[in-house]
Structure 1
Amino acid sequence: MTLSETRATRVPAFNRLWAAETLSVLGQQVALLALPLIAAVTLHATPAQMGLLVAMETAPLLLFSLIAGVWIDQRPRRPVLIWTDLLRAAALLVVPLTALLGVLRLEVLYGVAFVVGTLSVFFNVAYQSLLPDLVPKTALTDANSKLETSRSGAEVLGPGLGGGLIGLVGAVAGVWVNIGTFLASAAFLGGIRVPEQIQAPQTRTSLGQQLREGLHYVWSHPLIRPLVLCASTLNFAQGLLDALLVLHLSRDLGLTPAQIGLVYMGGNIGFVGGALLAERVATWLGLGRAAQLAALVAGVGLLLVPLSSLLGPLAIPGLIAARLLFGFGAIIFSVQHVTLRQTITPRAFQGRMHASVRFFAGGVVPLGALLGGVVGQQFGVGTALVLAGGVGCTAWLWVWRSGVPGVASAEAV
């Protein structure tokens, strides 16, 4: 096996996809702070309303993931990626325009979050389905690691830049950064010129039949199912936490936008470390054991978030450390999970497989956000955050009781 067969950067089309994804994530990190801060500080949202905002952004994972998979399996992915970037930029433009006109309300944020979330479902399914057409199978682990590394780097820089920017010009103005990065991402994707392998179904089947095929493939697979259940548990816990974290940091702890950005920025260093070390950890422990241990580390990191808030003057370093631990584990788990399912899934099922995984694993995020908002409203934000950590610490058990720990590498399956 030559170096060119294992290094994704030898493929120019991958480099364009890599740049587009990095820019897109960098801008989203600014919006990740801007929209909740607009809701919490400018529009004085309650915990339940904050939970609803996160639920509106993530509900499309539950509503549209399966349809997106069937639809994307039957057409070229590159145009889908370009149009979803352009339409997400247009949707976000509504926020500064309504603010300028003096009609910005929570309902506007809910609508924008839902539209952007819907388009992101199609973008993410399309780019993961396109990747096997861009690089050889032997380079998939390297490609996924690089995508996660750059995503993690953007997640490190984005909150810090976003927090400082929002502190200077305000949360509404910060949304313009995300608009610009979506447009730049579309420009990079427009330069990809690689033939895509689109396999039309051999027989005409109904939409329902195709949806059932994708769901059955994921749910019946002895390796994919436990990984999806583990991811679902972690994502449900993260939905609980994300619904209230910005509210907790800004109101309960009194942090400024710049300090909140620092918490996110410092914690996201864990994502970078995990992405850089994912391949090495898999080689050292084996893919399956690496996934199991990483899920446990991520769960412990979630639990340490509310506990760190009790440290008084050391709360910010404690929060950074807790988020670092979560990010480190979550990214290592994600790289192993994605690489394994891309390798073992037939090409004709790639879109439906990724969509079904997002349905199961991502569809629980809005449910977690809604529950987090209700628990935070009724019993306090701190209680909801502790609940999130407790749920996250159970995720690894799904993998422990399966055949996944015995998998040495994706190629060996």
Structure 2
Amino acid sequence: MFAPLRQRNYGKIFLAQVLSDLGNWLDFIALNTLIVYVWDLGPEAVAALVITFALPWVLVGPIASVWIERVPKRMVMISSDLIRIAIVLGLYWAPNLYVLLPLVFLKGSCGAIFDPARHSAIRMIVPKESLPQAVSLSQFSVQSTKVIAPILGAVFVSMAGARSAFLVESVLFLLSALLLMTLPVLKPQPSDGEPTQEKESFWVQFRQGWAHVITNRLLFVATLSIMVGLFINFMYDGLFPLWTKHLHMDEKVFGMVLSAIGLGSVLGAVVIGQFAAWQKRPLAIMSIGAAIGGSQLLLMGLGGLEAIGGGVYLWFIVFLVLGMSSSAVFIPFGYIMQMETPQNLIGRVSATTNAVQNTTMLVSPSIGAFLAKIFGVGYVFFGSGLAMTLFGVSVLMVSFRISGGKSVKSSDKEGSVSA
């Protein structure tokens, strides 16, 4: 899995992502602490924060991705990091929610611009045969920092207050920018006879990203699958504290059990990164991962309904498997997106899939909360598990009907990189 790190330029991008991911999770903890504990605001404020997190990926990312394809990727990533330093320092001084939310939106917009540029840069630097490992490493970064950040966040908050995490985050973004400054320019050169993107209209290029997702059968089914999966996920995701409380677990046990999801995701990324067999049927692996995750949610639902009992260690294992199943979904999806998309479209396509995924965050949590209020938390977990399992099995059957599900091949013409 770690073979791509031997490529110096990819190693720099990966380390920059680790710093950025770590900062983002510290940020998430600090913002929630500030809203709930410092300002003593209610669930409406937390919901507003979640929506503000998602909006830039839905509104800004797809539009900005057209511009991203036209300019050197290094410049985009460095600029995003430097702007985020100023925004994060603004968060440190934010006096109330009305100032904080616009800053969160601006910071998210920078992230929505940075991510497509990073995907494009990886595609330009990493050889095709190493892309599966690169995708696994990306998931490894996201999930490992999810485990580490709460520990660091708790230390910073207890020692210097919630706002101290913003100062640490600004330093992490600065280090990321300094690393990225040592990269080559990363500007693809058009092939002979191929029109330059500057000659095409903005809206033509904007539609190309969406058109590619819709017309590529394997990518379309994979994107639709992850959208439905995340819709189900976000229905129960915010209900974990209520579920653990219902099972008479205290805050410490809740934190330990919940950390198992992150640990499971890290283990899943490592395991998947060691094997290549799944690359023959990535959509099938996605569906199996969804079905396994659904089975764990069914167990949690039965626990919430008091139909089955179990101690902390049982639920730790359930959460661990749930985390591993998420890697079995996200890593093959990232692989499909990279391999089924031409290099000149990867920024727009990644922004499009990000927009589709984050749209679910705008509506699904409210539906989950509404259902929990009417039927109870246990029924939401059980229903989500049943839906996820059935959906995973359905996608598995569909995957065998898609010829591309047998083998993912890139039809890409590789672009050159300007140093």
> Pick from 46, 50, 61: which aligns with 1:54?
50
2:259 — aligned with what? Answer: 265
Quick check: 374-383 or 205-214, which moved more? 374-383
3-state SS, counterpart of residue 401 of structure 1: helix
Give the Å deviation of 1:16.
Answer: 0.4
Structure 2 CA distance, aligned partners of 1:270 and 1:86? Answer: 33
Q: One-letter code of the match for 2:205? A: Q
Question: Is 2:218–2:404's contact at 8 Å kept on the other side of the alignment?
Answer: no
> Pick from 27, 38, 44: which aligns with 1:42?
38
Q: One-letter code of the match for 1:236? A: F
1:400 aligns with 2:415: no
Matches within 5 A, 1:225-374: 225-243=220-238, 245=240, 255-256=250-251, 261-280=255-274, 283=277, 286-302=281-297, 317=313, 320-372=316-368
Q: Which digits, 9 at most, give the CA deviation of each residue in 1:182-206, with x for residues without a partner?
A: 2221221112125431546367333
Give the Å deviation of 1:241.
Answer: 3.6
1:118 — aligned with what? Answer: 109
Structure 2 CA distance, aligned partners of 1:298 and 1:353? Answer: 27
Give the Å deviation of 1:33.
Answer: 2.3
Structure 2 CA distance, aligned partners of 1:171 and 1:244? Answer: 23
CA pair 384-198 structure 1, distance change in 2 beyond 3 A: farther
1:166 aligns with 2:157: yes
1:210 aligns with 2:205: yes
Give the Å deviation of 1:240.
Answer: 3.1
RMSD: 3.4
1:188 — aligned with what? Answer: 179
1:76 — aligned with what? Answer: 72
CA pair 213-93 structure 1, distance change in 2 beyond 3 A: same
CA pair 297-123 structure 1, distance change in 2 beyond 3 A: farther
Give the Å deviation of 1:164.
Answer: 4.1
Give the Å deviation of 1:56.
Answer: 0.9
Question: Is 2:116–2:346's contact at 8 Å kept on the other side of the alignment?
Answer: no
- Count of aligned residue pairs for this structure pair: 403
Structure 2 CA distance, aligned partners of 1:310 and 1:208? Answer: 51
CA pair 23-264 structure 1, distance change in 2 beyond 3 A: farther
Give the Å deviation of 1:12.
Answer: 0.4
2:417 — aligned with what? Answer: none
Q: Which digits, 9 at most, give the CA deviation of each residue in 1:25-72, with x for residues without a partner?
A: 122222222222322333333333322211110111211221122111
Q: One-letter code of the match for 1:52? A: A
Q: Which digits, 9 at most, give the CA deviation of each residue in 1:194-246, with x for residues without a partner?
A: 54315463673332222222111101211011110111012223333444556
3-state SS, counterpart of residue 93 of structure 1: helix
| Amino-acid identity (%) | 25
Question: Is 1:48–1:370's contact at 8 Å kept on the other side of the alignment?
Answer: no
Give the Å deviation of 1:112.
Answer: 3.0
Give the Å deviation of 1:15.
Answer: 0.5
1:128 — aligned with what? Answer: 119
Q: One-letter code of the match for 1:400? A: M
Structure 1 CA distance, aligned partners of 2:310 and 2:164? Answer: 31
> Pick from 79, 82, 86: which aligns with 1:86?
82
Structure 1 CA distance, aligned partners of 2:79 and 2:64? Answer: 14
3-state SS, counterpart of residue 363 of structure 2: helix
Q: One-letter code of the match for 2:7? A: V
3-state SS, counterpart of residue 171 of structure 1: coil
Structure 2 CA distance, aligned partners of 1:87 and 1:307? Answer: 47
| Structure 1 unaligned residues grouped into runs of 5+ | none
Structure 2 CA distance, aligned partners of 1:250 and 1:94? Answer: 35
Question: Is 2:265–2:326's contact at 8 Å kept on the other side of the alignment?
Answer: yes
CA pair 175-246 structure 1, distance change in 2 beyond 3 A: farther
Q: One-letter code of the match for 2:271? A: L
Give the Å deviation of 1:168.
Answer: 4.3
Give the Å deviation of 1:307.
Answer: 5.7
3-state SS, counterpart of residue 217 of structure 2: coil
Quick check: 215-224 or 380-389, which moved more? 380-389
1:142 — aligned with what? Answer: 133
> Pick from 25, 28, 31: which aligns with 2:24?
28
Q: One-letter code of the match for 1:179? A: S
TM normalised by structure 1 equals 0.84
Structure 2 CA distance, aligned partners of 1:38 and 1:383? Answer: 31
